[in-house]
Structure 1
Amino acid sequence: MSKTVLHLANTRGNVDMGWLKSFHTFSFGGYYNPERMNFGALRVLNDDTVAGGKGFGEHPHDNMEIISIPLVGGLKHKDNMNNQAVISDGDIQVMSAGTGIFHSEHNNDPNETVKFLQIWLFPNVRNVEPRYDQLTLNKEERHNKLQQVLSPNKDDAGVWIHQNAWFHLGSFDNGIETEYTIKASGNGVYAFILSGSVEIDGQVLNTRDGFGIWDTDKFTIKALSNVEFLLMDVPMKF
């Protein structure tokens, strides 16, 4: 029988620094909850809103796979690997921090807010050479179906990371149903609802709710309204 965990949107950690408003699904920074440390290899899921022209100054990371998914607006990136880029709604960015990187992120618009997901996964190999990649996704490929946006495979759809993980985005019309088969033995799936309402494995979820499911091979997804969501298929042990 499958195991599940439910994290309602209003139970997340909440940080308001004026220029930054962030909701943390898992313990991060000043938010600590021993029961909300991670979901398998998924360590961080931050839902960030950054004021116009503001952002995160240069800071370090190491031995972590870091994924950014802009939802509204554009985010200006700069790092010590000589990468300078703007990632916008419809893009996905990945950094393998490995032996260590320094980077900064700022809202590319001086007036409008930017919203993005910051996601960290533990890697399956440590101290790799740091790397950076970004990709512009075709949003039509997720309309009423699941669009793969991340995998462990360099030649597969989406970006790739050093972990046995797959991410999919879906944008379903009300009433659309599908079935998801977990990609690897020992993996589970954490679903995060970007907007709307959906039923996953019998559990009703609404905007910004999170739901983890494991110890199963597959589960059903049914849109209860027009809905957008992210599925993160990750190892439960690593």
Structure 2
Amino acid sequence: MIDLRLAHERGQANFGWLDSKHTFSFGSYHDAKHMGYSALRVINDDKVEPGAGFGTHGHKDMEILSYVTQGVIAHKDSMGNVKHLPVGEFQLMSAGSGITHSEYNASDTDDLTFLQIWIVPDSQGGKPGYQQKDFGQAQGLTKIMTQTGQDGTLKVKQDASLSQLILAPGTSLTLAIDSERNTYIHQVVGEININQRCLKQGDGAKINQLTTLFLSNQGAQSASALVFDLP
């Protein structure tokens, strides 16, 4: 079964300096039908004005993934990390027993856009952690995050994985999935077809009870998406 979550149906919050679109319930946006999907709790599509950002705030017992699509995040946290996160790199914070951090648009002239993704961990507490890595822009599927951190992937505290999908125009691939698990695909750039269902930028797809996905790019530009394998 494929259940689409269309971009224009998402919740929205606009604070002037921040324009955020919420795939799942978050902040003042609440929809009992969209509280998350399996261990995937939040996908916020954030646009931050030049020089603005999120002041120091706290989290605990959450795996927080950030992926920049335009601009650079200036990051500071209570573990002593002072980092810049540019386009194409992935950052994973394990909040564990507690962490504080800030995220700002590093530019005074250009907008910042990024995805903030929360995954509920399979255990609470523990030492907070920070990981950041560029996995390149290879065609097809590139594994980004796993529970074990195998093959240089980011290590997440959940029986879950994330892959980056990039398809050039006119290309396709077949993906075998476990019908007893849950798959979620979030479209980042361009369009892809999933078993003849079209995903456009900002769209998502909840997928279960299937064993095979046929993914194709029938558009005129390169397409990219995030593919989650979830319990």
Shorter-chain TM-score above 0.5: yes
Partner of 2:76: 78
| Whole-Å separation in 2 of the counterparts to 1:78 and 1:195 | 28
Deviates more, 1:110-119 or 1:216-225: 216-225
Listed one character per residue, the Cα deviations across residues 9-54 of structure 1 (whole Å, up to 9, x for unaligned) are 1000011111101100000001100000001100000000111110
Which residue of 145, 150, 164 maps to 1:155?
150
In the alignment of these two chains, the number of paired residues is: 229
Matched, 1:106 2:104: yes
Paired position in structure 1 for 2:6: 8
Aligned residue runs from structure 1 range 31-180, under 5 A? 31-139=29-137, 141=138, 143=139, 145-180=140-175
Q: TM-score, normalised by structure 1?
A: 0.92
Gaps of 5+ in 1: none
Q: TM-score, normalised by structure 2?
A: 0.95
CA distance in 1 between counterparts of 2:199 and 2:136 reads 25
Unpaired runs of 5+ residues, structure 2, are none
Q: CA offsets, 1:113-150, max 9 Å, x none? A: 111000000111111211011012211x2x2x111111
Deviations 1:161-181 (A, max 9, x none): 001111111221222111122
Of 197, 211, 215, 1:217 maps to: 211
Whether the 8 Å contact between 2:163 and 2:227 is mirrored in structure 1 is yes
Letter matched to residue 191 of structure 2: S
Alignment correspondent of 1:231: 227
C-alpha contact 2:121 2:158 (8 A) present in aligned 1: yes
Equivalent residue of 1:156, what SS? helix
- Is 1:148–1:157's contact at 8 Å kept on the other side of the alignment? no
Q: Distance in 2 between matches of 1:218 and 1:160?
A: 26
Asked if the contact 1:151/1:157 (under 8 Å) is kept, the reply is no
Task: Choose from 27, 30, 42 the match for 1:29.
Answer: 27
1:217 to partner: Cα distance = 2.6
